[in-house]
Amino acid sequence: MRLFAAVLPPETAISELADAVAPLHALPQAGGLRWTGEQTWHLTLAFLGQVDAEDLDPLRTRLGAVAAAVDRTPRLRLAGSGSFGERALWVGLAGDTLPLRRLADEVVKAARDTGIDVDERPFRGHLTLARSAGRNGPPRAAGRGLSGLAGPLADFSGAEWPADSLRLMRSHLGAGPAHYETVAEWALGAGSAEDGDGGA
């Protein structure tokens, strides 16, 4: 199964970001982009890739221990914006970003200790809003100017919220939009490794 670890913003944070993003859809340079759905918005801590079923229980045990070791719930805000060249538009993070980075590092370590070959990209806290449509021909031209869409969101600063849980997510990819399912969830800052098997 294709897995990643993430923190999900609360509905209030999603709603205020959605209000800020909505006007961007009407801008000329937004044509041809693939916009992520609000129901999929998340902050990836680590992309784990394809994980064998036999590795799932050991991974869950280690991630539960990682979550239990967090002694204070990080408080975050969605704020600012930018782009990865002409590939993706994102909104950034403010607040307790250092503890979140440490959490991401611990998640990666737990995955590697389980024998999972984790993506080597360093953690960079962001929520992806849109991507250029692809590599094959016209979509790249349609994505030209994507970086300019970050300007209207540069001053965005949402309300603060507690990052109170760590989630292990499963990504279902197909012909339509991506669908994410919560495989397991652990409280952060509660001193508990209790495992919740939430499903999407």
Cα–Cα distance measured from residue 142 to residue 84, given in angstroms and rounded to the nearest whole number: 15
In which order are the strands placed within the sheet that holds 165-172? 43-50, 2-7, 165-172, 179-187
172 noted as active-site residue: no
Closest-CA residue to 110 (of 48, 143, 170, 63): 63
* 23 CB burial (10 A radius; 0-12, 13-18, 19+): exposed
Residues 23, 35: contact at Cβ < 8 Å?
A: no
Residues 168, 59: contact at Cβ < 8 Å?
A: yes
Instruction: Tell whether the torsion through CA atoms of 159, 11, 74 and 49 is positive or negative.
Output: negative
Cα–Cα distance measured from residue 98 to residue 68, given in angstroms and rounded to the nearest whole number: 17
42 noted as active-site residue: yes
Q: Enumerate the active-site residues.
A: 42, 126
